[in-house]
Amino acid sequence: MTENLNPFAIAQAQLDEAAEVLQLEPAMHRFLREPLREFHFSIPVRMDNGQTETFRGYRVQYNDARGPAKGGIRFHPDETIDTVRALAAWMTWKTAVADLPLGGGKGGVICNPRQLSVSELERVSRGYIRAVTRFVGLTQDVPAPDVHTNPQIMAWMLDEYEILVGHHEAGVITGKPQELGGSAGRSAATAMGGIFAIREAARVQGIPLAGSTCAIQGYGNVGSHAHRLAHEVSDLKVVAVSDEFGGIYNPNGLDPAVVQNHLREARTVKDCPDSEFISNSELLELDVDVLVPAAIENQITSKNADLIKAKIIAELANGPTTPRADKVLFDKGIYLIPDFLCNAGGVTVSYFEMVQNAYQFRWDESLVNQRLDNKITTAFQAVQKMAQSKQIENRVAAYLVAVARVAEAVRLRGWV
């Protein structure tokens, strides 16, 4: 039977497994399997050539029982409503496992940012916010960046929102530039949280991190910071990195500064000095201590799971591993740090950004990272304890912790 790679079907299958272990009552299970609400809309945009192009946009508020929905906005040519639903579900479990007073949401626009001029990109971003202004807000739903969106896009979106509502409301969007109320440490936060989680996993596994080898798939916001921080914070030797065009390998380690310089010029890591070519599939199968998928969904599937040799997999990407691959990795004894725990650093510092905006007071980067470390380490330990006590996969354990918290909030509100 071919493997179902629809991300929302995968998110639902993961929940089903956890619901069974939790013995969740059927009505609650049915309620948590579907998004609370979703918005589908068109964004008409005047292009530079004078023609009008219509882009399709989505915002899904999966569950807001624990607080306002929270989640990024993706600009991607292959965006689908099911991808947005899955990511919104994972955000719900992520804010719960990190014990943030937030729910889960996600947004997306079907577009190819590489084919848009800067002014077209600005008009798509402002158009998106015009379409969702009535549904988002500090107390309703707080967007942030994700794949192919960045602090500049958040700045345009904040500006459009504030023009429409007629007052300043910095906390309505996070991942902003620091000049507009963004938090210190936000751009590196997802990777930093992952580095803290890898440290904890290595401790559990008795692997000394200094000098251990690491491969990173994806070299965008998350992957490039992960490379730098692996080098600076944990002394891991990163021997391979990649992007959508292919990868690079050096058994003696890749210098993050050299790769960054090359990326700035070439717009890909490929052909970087002091490295040899490696394909994305070869990178995933390298004999390294730590493998970090930091690109897109469905990279470790039933087709290649058996070929993975890493001791620890740190899922910085959302949904990189399919349920069938999960079983194979578990049977092989690979220690997996599941996505919504491993990459919770981004939303945690986004929450810190909301807190700082509310108080109009800035924390410095060391305080942000210290509080992030506390949050990630506490979440990691709750999941590790659950996995050990029930002898289950870490992903199922993370679901048990998160779903129990969301279900309790739903129950207390009297929804189910």
The footprint of ligand NAD (CB under 6 A) covers 145-148, 190, 217-223, 242-244, 280, 294-296, 316-318, 343, 346
Structure tokens at 167: 């007052």
Nearest to 109 by CA among 182, 164, 45, 156: 45
Do residues 271 and 242 make contact, with C-beta atoms less than 8 angstroms apart? no
* Residue number with CB closer to ligand NAD (92 or 318): 318
CA atoms within 13 A on the CB side of 270: 9
Q: How far is the CB of 225 from ligand NAD (least distance, A)?
A: 8
Give the burial string for 242-252 (b: 16+ CB within 10 Å, else e): bbeebbbbbee
**What CA–CA distances, in Å, run from 18 to 21, 115, 302, 393?**
5, 41, 21, 10
Orientation angle between helical segments 189-205 and 345-359, nearest 10 degrees: 130
Strands across the sheet with 213-217, in order? 276-278, 246-249, 237-243, 213-217, 290-293, 312-314, 335-337
* Residue number with CB closer to ligand NAD (148 or 176): 148
Structure tokens at 364: 């410095």
Other beta carbons less than 10 A from residue 37's beta carbon: 15
Q: How far is the CB of 352 from ligand NAD (least distance, A)?
A: 13
Structure tokens at 192: 């930093």
> Which ranges of 230-344 would DSSP assign to H, the alpha helix?
256-266, 280-284, 323-331, 339-342
Q: Show the CA angle centred on residue 355, arms to residues 350 and 356, nearest 5°.
A: 95
Q: How far is the CB of 78 from ligand NAD (least distance, A)?
A: 10
* Residue number with CB closer to ligand NAD (61 or 318): 318
Largest CA distance in the chain: 62
Q: How far is the CB of 211 from ligand NAD (least distance, A)?
A: 26
Dist CA 72 CA 144 (whole Å): 4
* Residue number with CB closer to ligand NAD (145 or 181): 145
* Residue number with CB closer to ligand NAD (126 or 225): 225
* Residue number with CB closer to ligand NAD (215 or 312): 215
Q: Show the CA angle centred on residue 313, arms to residues 386 and 221, nearest 5°.
A: 110
Q: How far is the CB of 219 from ligand NAD (least distance, A)?
A: 4
* 137 Ramachandran zone, left/alpha/beta (phi>0; psi -120 to 50): left
DSSP reduced 3-state for 69: strand
DSSP reduced 3-state for 217: strand
**Active-site position among 106, 176, 270, 311:** 106
Q: How far is the CB of 118 from ligand NAD (least distance, A)?
A: 17
Q: Where are the beta strands (DSSP E) in 36-103?
A: 37-46, 52-63, 69-76
Q: How far is the CB of 108 from ligand NAD (least distance, A)?
A: 11
* 183 Ramachandran zone, left/alpha/beta (phi>0; psi -120 to 50): beta
* Residue number with CB closer to ligand NAD (218 or 256): 218
Is 332 marked active-site? no
* Residue number with CB closer to ligand NAD (60 or 222): 222
Q: How far is the CB of 76 from ligand NAD (least distance, A)?
A: 8
- Catalytic positions: 106
